[in-house]
Amino acid sequence: MKTRPAKNRQSIPAPLFLGLDSSTQGLEATVIDAACRIVAESAVQFDADLPAFKTQGGVHRHPDGLTVTSPPLMWVAALDLLLARMKKAKMPLDRIAAISGSGQQHGSVYLRPGTDRVLKNLAPARSLAQQLRDVFSVNASPIWMDSSTTRQCQERDAALGGPQAVAELTGSRSYERFTGNQIAKIVREHPEFYRATERIALVSSFMASLLIGDYAPIEPGDGAGMNLMDIRSRRWSKKALDCTAPGLAAKLGAIVPSHSIIGILNPYYVARYGFSPQCRVTAFSGDNPNSLAALGLAQSGEVAISLGTSDTVFGALSEPRPSATEGHIFGNPINPKGYMALVCYMNGSLTRESVRDSFAGRSWKRFEDALSATRPGNGGKIGFFFKEPEITPPVRKPGIFRFGADNRPTDAFRPEENIRAVVEGQFLSMRLHGRNIGLVPKKILATGGASVNRSILRVMADVFGVPVYIGSQANSASLGSAYRTLHGWHCVQARRFLPFTKVIKPAECFEKTFDPDKTNHRLYTALLVRYAKLERWVTDK
């Protein structure tokens, strides 16, 4: 039997997937292929690239020292600038099959009636900023750095039955930076602005709205950072809405699952930048949930510790354990039935650097040598180092507190004892407060600048009693967004939900650095009881 030669077929370019991150200081893009490999990156820095908005660190700090805002039109201008740079760099935007994104959590955007019509009818010959400069009913968006809503937090606590009741309902106690309290402040101080608002968006859903040409919904990962969403039902809580503002539900829109395809890319981007007219947009989430997605933390016991400017411990949960005193519970953006818990510390790398400078001659090598030369448990000595006011535990006044093995305060440790105390104390705190909201790790993925210090990771493994892995995850929020939109694309192709970890296989692997020493772990477990008692004493002061 004869066979016919195959006809030449034009090969179909492999699809690509775009993740965006609208952070405090800039807008970043990460493009991956279907094998999760990074193929392109780009970024815009607000201060340097958009100086007309006169921001410092991407924000405007107000004279009261509490109010911090950003101009929402700056975020609009940044999107056009970023995409123009990507087009100029000849990135194959026509191959991008799907887009998702990340926004700094808690920030809010207030849009006038008819903004959806403006978004639907964008003219490709004009920039986004030119066409959208008049759509904002509030021209200064409150962001996560704002702490001016203490009164609104107190009113929320009174209306809902106290801090623990608020946490049980929404996943977190009333926090000044949370969106619901920022909305309540606007209603009280500028009711005319609220009346002139048709839609209130998060930074994440606002950026998604720009792409789909319509009001975008909110998803549970970012929606949980508002003190407005019922953390268990993943729907707006009527009680939380009612004590915030009248008619708020209509202004917020729907909550949809994180993997939802919320629309097709607006023709504006097809004509102006060369995107495919079939490009889909997946629901955007917050920066912390997207960082969790970048690490693939889908199941309970999967925990990451980021050792950066502000230390963070976060991970997946099957059931929420909200606390009025520490941490947050959000929706897990890669597991529609799961949750994520997060504990944040103000005193992270800068505090370790301060101890290094004071007791190790500004040398990380000497810091690491001193840590290696001291014995686990520090001879019973425990220290609390608060270079800045602390979130966890709540400490308003900075200071250093040292205690001997007899629990009595002492003025000084030997240099090497200070170094071990600042490291051990942070991990004991993470173990204590993470456990209180359900974070009990089976393994730890260590990231951030200080994760290159092996002696620090050795202490981490021993304190928690689990293996520690290390890997580099640059631009984790935009990378997590890219993973999430690839996941949503797979779900569309299969016409059903697929588990995230079944279809997303990150190209980068984490390497195990340490298994715990069981003897040291038992020592730290005993020390944790004393640590918790002394921490209460420090907090009470």
φ, ψ of residue 506 to 5 degrees: the values are: -55, 140
Give the pLDDT of residue 231. 97
Give the pLDDT of residue 472. 66
Neighbours of 261 (CB within 10 A): 18
Which tokens belong to 539?
């907090």
Cis check for the bond before 393: say yes or no (omega within 30 of 0): yes
How many Cα neighbours within 13 Å face the side chain of 498?
17
Q: Return the H-helix or E-strand segment holding 459.
A: helix 454-464
d(CA 368, CA 171): 38
d(CA 19, CA 482): 4
**Eight-class DSSP state of 414:** -
Given a contact cutoff of 8 angstroms between Cβ atoms, the answer to whether 443 and 301 are in contact is yes
- DSSP string computed for 24-43: SSEEEEEEEETTS-EEEEEE
CATH of domain 349-470+513-540: 3.30.420.40
Domain boundaries, the chain: 16-289, 349-470+513-540
Give the pLDDT of residue 508. 64
Residue-level pLDDT, tens digit, the chain, 541 residues: 333 334 444 567 899 999 999 999 999 999 999 999 999 999 999 999 999 999 998 999 999 988 999 999 999 999 999 999 999 999 999 999 999 999 999 999 999 999 999 999 999 999 999 999 999 999 999 998 898 999 999 999 999 999 999 999 999 999 999 999 999 999 999 999 999 999 999 999 999 999 999 999 999 999 999 999 999 999 999 999 999 999 999 999 999 999 999 999 999 999 999 999 999 999 999 999 999 999 988 888 989 998 887 889 999 999 999 998 889 999 999 999 999 999 988 888 889 999 999 999 999 999 999 999 999 999 999 999 998 888 888 887 889 999 999 999 999 999 999 999 999 999 999 999 999 999 999 999 998 888 889 999 999 999 999 999 987 666 789 999 999 999 999 999 999 999 999 999 876 668 899 999 999 999 999 999 999 999 999 986 6
What 3 state SS string does 104-156 have?
CCCCEEEECCCHHHHHHCCCCCCCHHHHHCCCECCCCEECCCCCCCHHHHHHH
d(CA 13, CA 144): 41
Give the pLDDT of residue 9. 45
Architecture in CATH of 16-289: 2-Layer Sandwich (3.30)
Given a contact cutoff of 8 angstroms between Cβ atoms, the answer to whether 22 and 103 are in contact is yes
pTM above 0.75, yes or no: yes
Q: Sort 49 into a burial class: Cβ within 10 Å, 0-12 / 13-18 / 19+.
A: middle
d(CA 157, CA 173): 8
Give the pLDDT of residue 167. 97
Assign residue 159 a region (left: φ > 0; alpha: ψ between -120 and 50; beta: otherwise).
Answer: alpha
- Which residues lie across from 217 on neighbouring strands? none
Q: Which residues contact 266 (CB under 8 A, 6 or more apart)?
A: 119, 120, 122, 210, 211, 212, 213
d(CA 484, CA 31): 12
Which tokens belong to 120?
């639907």
